[in-house]
Structure 1
Amino acid sequence: MEYVVKKSLLAPMKTLTYCVTGEKKPSSWTKRGSKRHGSKGRTCADPHLLRSYQADLERERKLREAMNAQKNAERATMRAHFRRKYQLTKNAKDADHLRAVGRKVPLPRELAKMVRPDGADKDDSFSLLRAFQGLSFSPPIFTGSKQTKTPTAAGAEPCRVM
């Protein structure tokens, strides 16, 4: 505890004494971290290691940029699709994204499924066309003549209720 009090009050006390005595520059204070005259900072021991490290960083940066360009082109393709679908104006920025990749960009599968679903979803609700799907509209029905034989599918079992 005594150490903490001494440490926290030492600097303000020194400042107060120098203000009261009128000294311009305290001689007992030393600057921390003063640089030596010959010091130039950290240097790499081997310049070859530095060059190889910088080359690795450059390769990683180019790979990241290529991946980002691909993502941007995919997004631009998606936006272009919706612009065509809803007849909106074209955007020059999207064209630039597509041009930056340099080839035609296919939509990713997830995005393509959102845009164009594979199959029609089964709709369990009532459909008028589905209700009349099995009916046949032959001329005897419309003319009023009796039909002697009911049409049945070939090889089908007769109804057990009848």
Structure 2
Amino acid sequence: KSHDEYEEYQKQLVEEKMARDADFLHKKAERATLRVCLREKYRLPKSEQDDNMIEMAGDDVDVPEELLKMVDEDATEEEGKDSIFGQIQNLQNMDMDQLKEKATATVSELKSKAEEKCSVM
């Protein structure tokens, strides 16, 4: 009796592992699909590895909705920044005092780095 139970248990383990592996493969293919979308969007070279991953998983791979939304939001944000209106908006959002502080901090940082280099020589 215990031998049959053991066989059944082993069979169950194998089935669970196969299900996990299938899920894992599917997730990897979803990620690969997302990377393909991003590569097309930013005109980056294609990745053979991603293409192979998608092929292995079959054609039923879709990028999860949440991820697609994030890519779209990112694209809309980028487009907004690229337009002149978007750039003016960014300038208005920046405070002049903030800009002065940032510039001063950058200049003093550069000075201290230059002084460090000079004192070493």
TM interval, shorter chain, is 0.5 to 0.7
Return the alpha-carbon distance in structure 1 between the equivalents of residues 51 and 8 of structure 2: 36
2:62 aligned residue: 106
Match of 2:25 among 69, 73, 76: 69
Q: Aligned partner of 1:100: which letter? A: M
- Structure 1, gaps ≥5 residues long: 1-44, 128-162
Return the alpha-carbon distance in structure 2 between the equivalents of residues 104 and 83 of structure 1: 20
Return the alpha-carbon distance in structure 1 between the equivalents of residues 26 and 5 of structure 2: 32
Identical amino acids, percent of aligned pairs: 35
Superposed, 1:41-56 pairs within 5 Å as: 46-56=2-12
1:158 aligned residue: none
- Structure 2, gaps ≥5 residues long: 86-121
Q: Aligned partner of 1:95: which letter? A: D
Are the aligned partners of 1:98 and 1:104 in contact in 2 as well (CA < 8 Å)? no
1:94 aligned residue: 50
Return the alpha-carbon distance in structure 1 between the equivalents of residues 61 and 16 of structure 2: 22
Deviations 1:104-134 (A, max 9, x none): 42111110111124xx78x9xxx6xxxxxxx
- Deviation of 1:68 after TM superposition, in Å, equals 0.5
Return the alpha-carbon distance in structure 2 between the equivalents of residues 57 and 104 of structure 1: 26
Matched length: 77
Moved segments of 4+, more than 3 Å: none
Q: Which has the higher relative contact order, 1 or 2, with Cα contacts under 8 A spaced 6 or more apart?
A: 2
| Greater helix proportion | 2
Deviations 1:50-94 (A, max 9, x none): 110110000110110011011101100110011111111111111
Q: CA RMSD in A?
A: 2.0
Structure with higher Rg: it is 1
Structure-2-length-normalised TM-score: 0.57
Return the alpha-carbon distance in structure 1 between the equivalents of residues 49 and 5 of structure 2: 40
Return the alpha-carbon distance in structure 2 between the equivalents of residues 104 and 92 of structure 1: 19
SS of corresponding position for 2:37 = helix
Return the alpha-carbon distance in structure 2 between the equivalents of residues 105 and 114 of structure 1: 18
